Amino acid sequence: MDFELTEEQKLVQQMVRDFANNEIIPQGKALEDQHEFPKELLKKIAKLGILGMTVPTEFGGTQTDELSFILALEEIGRALSSFSVIISVHCSLFCYAINTFGTLSQKDTYLPLAASGQTLGAFSLTEPDAGSDATQLKTRAKRDGDVYVLNGTKSWITNGREADALILFAKTEKDEKKKFSAFIVDKNTPGLHVTRIEEKLGLHASPTAEISLEDCRIPTENLLGKEGQGTAIAFQCLDHSRIGIAAQSVGLAQRALDEAVKYAKNREAFGTTLSGLQAIQFMISDIATQTEAARLLTHKAALLFNKGKPFAKESSMAKLFASEAANKIAYLALQIHGGYGYSREYIVEQLFRDARAFSIYEGTSEIQRLVISRYLLKE
C-alpha cells in the first residue's frame, strides 16, 4: 500500500484548494443564504478544466485518474457542499454516462460542450413514486417512427432547472417489468417543463427541481445504449457517483474539523480555552479519526476504479461510512461551538444542515447496506 499522492495529484489538489479558498469560501455563505445558483463560479472553475475531468481529451476534456477527481471534489466540498454536488452530478453522472455508454455521435455532440462548461448536465431517475425502488418508474417513452414520445414526472433533480441536457430514464413498450431505458433529453425540448423547486433543509445554492414531460418528442438517436439497458446504465453510474458523494462528505467533515479546532483554540471557558478541556479534546479526536477513516475508504474506492477492478461494494462502503460520519462530525462541531453553533453567524450551522442530505441522495444508507450485504453474501 502506498498512501502518498503522485505529484500530478498533489498539483490538482493544491490548484482546487487555492480556488476553493480564494473564490468559493468568500462567496459561499451569501450564495447559500440567498439560494443563489453559483453560475459565475461554474464559469471560473470550468476554465481550470474541472468540469472535463471525466471527459477524454479527444472530446475536449481534461480526463484525469479517478483519485485526482475525488481530491478535487473533496476540496470543493470543504468550501461549499452545494457547489460540490452540482459538479459531481455533471461529471460523475452526466458526462460519465455519455462517455461510457454513448455513441460516437452522442459523445461528439455533448461531451466537448460539457467539458468546457458551455453545457451543464443533470441526471433524472427519481420520480414521486419511485425513489429507492427505481424499477417502479411510471414515465413512459413510446416509439413513434424516428422519435420517442416521453410522458411523466421526474423529481429531486440536481441541476434540473439550470441544466442544458439530462440523462433521463423511462420505460418503453419493449422493456421488461424491472427494466427501463435511458435517454439524452435537451432542456429546450418542447413539452419539458420545470414545475417545482424543492424547499430543502440545506444545499440551498443547489436548486433541486421537479419536471414534467408532456408529449416530449426526442429523436431515436438520443436513446443511450439500447432499450432496456437503462437499468444497468443507471446502477453503474450510481456506483461511480457514490465515490463522489463520499468525497463531498469528506470535504464537509474536514471543514467541520477545521472550524472546531479554530473555535476551540480561541474560545475561553472555565479559566482556559476550550482546547484545554478534555471533553473537547476527545470530541476533536473523534472528528479527526472519523474524517480520516472516511477519506481512506473513499480513496480506496477511487483507486479500485482507476485499476479497472470491481469497485461497487467499496463505493457503497465509502458512501455509507463517509455520509454518516459527516452527520456525526457536523453534530460534534456544532456542539463544540455551543450556542454559537446554533447561530447562522457560524458556518457549522450550515454544515449541520447540508450533511443531512449525504446519507439520503444517490442511495440512502439503507440501500448502501443492502448493496454491500448482497456483494458479501454472493462472495
Q: What is the CATH number of the domain that holds 236?
A: 1.20.140.10
Mean pLDDT across 119-138: 92
User: What pLDDT does residue 179 have?
Assistant: 93
Assign 379 a pLDDT band (cuts: 50, 70, 90). Answer: low
In 121-270, alpha helices (H): 230-266
Q: Are residues 203 and 319 in the same domain?
A: no
- Same domain, residue pair 374 and 330: yes
Q: Which three cell numbers mark 117?
A: 462548461
- Would residue 225 be called left, alpha or beta, if left means φ above 0 and alpha means ψ between -120 and 50 degrees? left
Distance of CA 214 to the CA centre of its chain: 28
Quick one: 224 and 236 in the same domain? no
Looking at the predicted structure, is the pLDDT value of residue 357 above 80? yes
Pick the last residue of a domain from 120, 142, 172.
120
- The answer to whether residue 134 sits within a structural domain is yes
75 within 8 A of 16, measured Cβ to Cβ: yes
293 domain-assigned: yes
Domain boundary among 85, 102, 120: 120
Angle in degrees, 0-180, between the axes of helices 312-337 and 365-378, rounded to the nearest 10: 140
Tell me what pLDDT residue 152 has. Answer: 96
Asked if 169 contacts 181 with a C-beta cutoff of 8 angstroms, the reply is yes
Tell me, what CATH number does 131's domain have? 2.40.110.10
What whole-number distance in Å separates Cα of residue 345 and Cα of residue 147?
53
* 181 & 295 share domain: no
Q: Does 253 lie in the same domain as 218?
A: no
Residues 6+ apart with CB under 8 A from 170: 137, 139, 140, 141, 150, 152, 180, 181, 183, 230
- pLDDT of 114 > 90? The answer is yes
283 and 214 in a common domain: no
1, part of any domain: no
Q: Is 137 contained in some domain? A: yes
How far apart are the C-alpha atoms of 301 and 316, rounded to whole Å?
Answer: 9
- When divided into structural domains, the chain yields a total of 3
Q: With cut-offs at 50, 70 and 90, classify the pLDDT of residue 177.
A: confident
**Is residue 364, in this structure, part of any structural domain at all?**
yes
So what's the pLDDT on residue 283? 98
To the nearest whole number, what is the mean pLDDT of the chain?
96
* C-alpha–C-alpha distance, residues 134 and 155, integer Å: 12
Q: Which amino acid is at 132?
A: S
What residues have CB less than 8 Å from 100, skipping those under 6 apart? 233, 236, 237
Pair (197, 268) in one structural domain: no
What is the average pLDDT across 119-135?
92
Does one domain contain both 358 and 347?
Answer: yes
Residue 2 belongs to some domain of the structure = no
- Are 104 and 152 in a shared domain? no
Question: Is pLDDT at 1 greater than 90 in this prediction?
Answer: no
The phi, psi pair for 121, rounded to 5°, reads -105, 160
Q: What are the catalytic residues? A: 362
Among residues 184, 210, 228, which one ends one of the domains? 228
Q: How confident is the model at residue 176 (pLDDT cuts 50, 70, 90)?
A: confident
Question: 290: domain range?
Answer: 231-378
Residues 244 and 213 in one domain: no
Specify the 3-state DSSP secondary structure of 42.
helix
Q: According to the model, what pLDDT value does residue 5 have?
A: 95
pLDDT in tens, 290-344: 999 999 999 999 999 999 999 999 999 999 999 999 999 999 999 999 999 999 9
CATH of residue 59's domain is 1.10.540.10
What per-residue confidence (pLDDT) applies to 131?
86
Same domain, 163 and 253: no
In whole angstroms, what is the distance from residue 287 CA to residue 284 CA? 5
Q: pLDDT above 70 covers what percent of the chain? A: 100
**Residue 95 falls inside a structural domain:** yes
More confident: 61 or 135: 61
pLDDT in tens, 256-288: 999 999 999 999 989 999 999 999 999 999 999
Segment 71-86, tens digit of pLDDT = 999 999 999 999 999 9
What is the pLDDT averaged over residues 246-259? Answer: 98
The verdict on 235 and 189 lying in the same domain is no
pLDDT of residue 174: 87
84-100 per-position pLDDT tens digit: 999 999 999 999 999 99
How confident is the model over 187-210, as a mean pLDDT?
96
pLDDT at 134 over 90: no
